[in-house]
Amino acid sequence: MRTSDERYRTRARRERLLDTGVHDDELDPDFRTEILSSWRRCQLVGVVPTGEEAPYRPEFERPVRLLRAAGPVIDRLAEQLEDSPVSIVLADTDAQIIDRRAGGRSLVRVLDRARIAPGFVFAEEFTGTNGIGSALEAAKPFTVAGAEHFRENLQDFACIGSPVRHPMTGRVEGVLDVTCRVEEAHGAMKPLVLAAVREIESRMYAETTRRERMLLDRFVRANRRAGTAVVSLNEDVIMANTAASAILDLSDQATLWDWACRMLGSSDECTGEVQLAHDVVAQATAVRIGEKGEMAGVLVEMRPHTRTDGRSPIARRTPHRSRRRADHDGVVGRSVAANRLRSDVDAAVGTGRAVLVCGEPGVGKLHVATYLHRRRTDGEPATVLDAVLAEDDPAGWIARLRTLCSGGGPVVLRHLDRLVPELAERVESIVAAAVPGSVVATARTRGEATPAGRVLDHFPLSVTVPPLRYRVEDIADLAPPLLAAHSSRRPVPKLLPGTLRALGVHDWPGNVRELEAVLAAAVNRSAGSDIALEHLAPEYRSAGRRTGRTSLSRAERDVVLEALAETHGNKLAAAERLGIARSTLYRKMRVLGIDENHLPAPTSR
């Protein structure tokens, strides 16, 4: 135990360090290396040492598996420590507190003032160095006492937190933390936490092996029927026979699980069509596995649709490397929106007319525009001219555009809707006289009464790239080339099924550009291993809790969006197509978070 003089000197040294900034090569006898590393992270993301607020989410998804395993352990600890001045805290993978047991009313009041209570988020990026968020960030047991806390309002506490890992997958499921006043800290706290974590993980293992035995039993029985692709799976485990392995991709575990949960609902068996990766479509039957109302997983039997020549889709699958290159160069995805985009591009390729590629920022308009040109020119690369840069050298930019449009090769006019008014008339005349099919432009939208808008009128054909929120099921197909672009390792890291599920429930306001930034950061965190949930930034691990969307509501949202897209945004026609009243459609749009101002845009032909 440090004396008051020692604590004063430590706090003074802390203030000097934070005032001058903690550097990578910083060493200080008063602070451990892991504390200094945590402080650097806090400074980089802008945590304020004098801040006291913490994000609060009164409504959040409770991690059932973690609570089921940890509940009895916490109950026993709370009973044993009833008269002790310590608090037992359980947090999920977002560092959000989901349970707290405090010994004594006085400690409860102190904890409440510091927001150490259920619903508050103690991720490092929000609340600085602490036993919960720092344990998640370091992925190991983490002790923080007194002045080691980055935030001043937490310096009265000592805490130790340890990640709880799933014993089969190795993924972090949450954090168990013990907190007390700093003057009441005891050396027995760490062994107490570590022993409790081992017991929670042991209970998790027993529960997992029981569910897996049920999965294995049903899989073995179903696999005896020859000629059928058989898969037994849940959110963590997948078992597949040879026929199933031939048609399944790593991303298909999340797709199959989501499809089965959506189709089953409250029934025990369902049959329908499921679209897998690489354009494989299968007729599938899903059967619930479990007992006493508890779902251990599903058994799925699939028969891929045959082609017109009678061969299975398996026969047309190309080697993995070729498939990745083709996907990267073209329009990837399995969603209705992606299929429609491919159809629109195919139609535009053969017209020989000027094409305008529209869409929100970050959707990949430039990728689609350059791909369209390559299709038209048998692989000849297009020159990209950014209209935003025309203002820097107007004469040179116009001269280059005139050369290209008069036969100098295919050109993509990027951000054409942002062209400065002074150049609009000259660009309009050049585009109007361009070699047919040589010009493709990108813009957010057309129809604005501006000089640049009049230039867009010279592009009679439009292709609209849908926002990522309308095609989240395509993330499984978009991720491989994005990961490959940011990883020098071979094989390229893959998204684990749990990671794919988390990304699939995010709204993606920044579209594919935002997805790429998230994956690039995850590649750095994973150090070459496959991308697990803990490798994502905390706000992307918690996307499902923020939107609160279930598989069923996401499916309903997709159906509504598809109807609106097919009817070009006409609410009455969409309601009739769905068989509901227009007032019901408006209500569903509000409930499902569909923005009337960002509906799928119609395609002009």
Closest CA to 250 of 343, 151, 320: 320
Class of domain 468-547: mainly alpha
CA distance 549 to 533: 18
* Arithmetic mean of pLDDT over the chain: 82
Mean pLDDT check: name the lowest of 3-12, 95-104, 242-251. Answer: 3-12
| Residue 238 in this model has a pLDDT that exceeds 90 | no
Q: What is the pLDDT of residue 379?
A: 81
- Quote the pTM value: 0.55
| Residue 340 in this model has a pLDDT that exceeds 90 | no
Q: What is the pLDDT of residue 600?
A: 52
Q: What is the pLDDT of residue 318?
A: 36
Contact between 585 and 560 under an 8 Å Cβ cutoff? The reply is yes
Domain extents in the chain: 4-206, 225-316, 327-464, 468-547, 551-598
pLDDT band at residue 317 using 50, 70 and 90 as cut-offs:
very low
Query: Which architecture does CATH list for 327-464?
Result: 3-Layer(aba) Sandwich (3.40)
| Residue 548 in this model has a pLDDT that exceeds 50 | no
* Tens digit of each residue's pLDDT (9 = 90 or more) over 360-379: 999 999 999 999 999 988 88
* Tens digit of each residue's pLDDT (9 = 90 or more) over 489-525: 778 888 887 788 888 878 888 999 999 999 999 998 8
Mean pLDDT check: name the lowest of 243-257, 347-361, 399-413. Answer: 243-257
* Tens digit of each residue's pLDDT (9 = 90 or more) over 468-492: 988 888 898 899 999 988 888 778 8
CA distance 527 to 489: 9
Averaged pLDDT, 122-133: 92
More confident residue, 210 or 266: 210
CA distance 251 to 276: 9
CATH fold for the domain made of 4-206: Beta-Lactamase (3.30.450)
Averaged pLDDT, 153-168: 91
Closest CA to 463 of 353, 594, 598: 353
Closest CA to 144 of 105, 201, 193: 193
How is 557-573 classified by DSSP, letter by letter? HHHHHHHHHHTTT-HHH
Q: Tell me if residue 161 falls in helix, strand or coil.
A: strand
| Residue 47 in this model has a pLDDT that exceeds 60 | yes
Class of domain 225-316: alpha beta
Averaged pLDDT, 246-270: 80
Q: Tell me if residue 310 falls in helix, strand or coil.
A: coil
CATH number of 551-598: 1.10.10
| Residue 386 in this model has a pLDDT that exceeds 90 | yes
| Residue 54 in this model has a pLDDT that exceeds 80 | yes
pLDDT band at residue 23 using 50, 70 and 90 as cut-offs:
low
Q: What is the dihedral of CA 105, 108, 112, 117, to 10 degrees?
A: -140
66: left (phi over 0), alpha (psi -120 to 50) or beta: alpha
Q: Are 4-206 and 225-316 equal in CATH topology?
A: yes
Q: What is the pLDDT of residue 470?
A: 80
Backbone angles phi, psi at 502, to 5 degrees: -65, -40
pLDDT band at residue 42 using 50, 70 and 90 as cut-offs:
confident
| Residue 551 in this model has a pLDDT that exceeds 60 | no
pLDDT band at residue 306 using 50, 70 and 90 as cut-offs:
low
pLDDT band at residue 30 using 50, 70 and 90 as cut-offs:
low
* Tens digit of each residue's pLDDT (9 = 90 or more) over 168-223: 777 889 999 999 999 888 888 899 999 999 999 999 888 877 888 888 888 888 88
Q: Tell me if residue 366 falls in helix, strand or coil.
A: helix
Q: Indicate the DSSP class of residue 603.
A: P
More confident residue, 292 or 361: 361
Q: What is the dihedral of CA 191, 193, 198, 203, to 10 degrees?
A: 140
Q: What is the pLDDT of residue 322?
A: 34
